[in-house]
């Protein structure tokens, strides 16, 4: 269930200190050590799975409720104007710790937190949508 080599598993077990803000039977939530903005938090399942593809359904089904509960408290305490709820899978997507986690990033009007992309073109989307539809099981 937990992995001796994994830094987030060690945090879950209390072997590495953290600024915990929430805990239940399945998750713990801590403040990020290198926050993108004040109050940036990370939700960790108490189960070692590398990413969204291997995390068991029982955790996936619950994680957004934890995100909402914690974000609501963060909005109240930080008086932030919004919050990004996001999650990276794979190095190409920016994942650096390979234990599934979900980021809660408080946002303040006019802040310079760089979560953005340049809008591209939708060329080929008709065919692509059809292919993905077929691949979904």
Q: How far is the CB of 93 from Zn ion (least distance, A)?
A: 18
- Write the CB contacts of 55 (distance below 8 Å, at least 6 apart in sequence): 45, 47, 49, 100
From the list Zn ion, ligand AMP, none, partner contacted by residue 115 (C-beta under 5 to 8 A by kind): none
Closest CA to 63 of 41, 38, 93: 41
- Clarify whether 101 is annotated catalytic: yes
Interacting span for Zn ion (CB under 5 A) from 45-53, 61-69, 102-110, 118-126:
45-53
Q: How many Cα neighbours within 13 Å face the side chain of 22? A: 21
Residues that bind ligand AMP (CB under 6 A): 7, 16, 18, 30, 32-34, 42, 88, 94-97
């Amino acid at each position: 269930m937990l992995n001796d080599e994994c830094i987030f598993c060690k945090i879950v077990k209390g072997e590495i200190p953290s600024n915990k803000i929430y805990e239940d039977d399945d998750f713990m939530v801590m403040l990020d050590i290198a926050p993108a903005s004040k109050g940036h938090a990370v939700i960790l399942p108490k189960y070692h799975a590398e990413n969204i593809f291997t995390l068991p359904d029982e955790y996936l089904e619950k994680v957004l409720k934890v995100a909402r509960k914690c974000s609501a408290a963060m909005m109240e305490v930080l008086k932030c104007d919004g919050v990004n709820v996001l999650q990276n899978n794979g190095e190409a997507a920016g994942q650096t710790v390979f234990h599934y986690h979900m980021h809660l990033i408080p946002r303040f009007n006019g802040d310079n937190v760089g979560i953005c992309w340049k809008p591209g073109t939708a060329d080929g989307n008709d065919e692509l949508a059809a292919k993905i539809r077929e691949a979904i099981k």
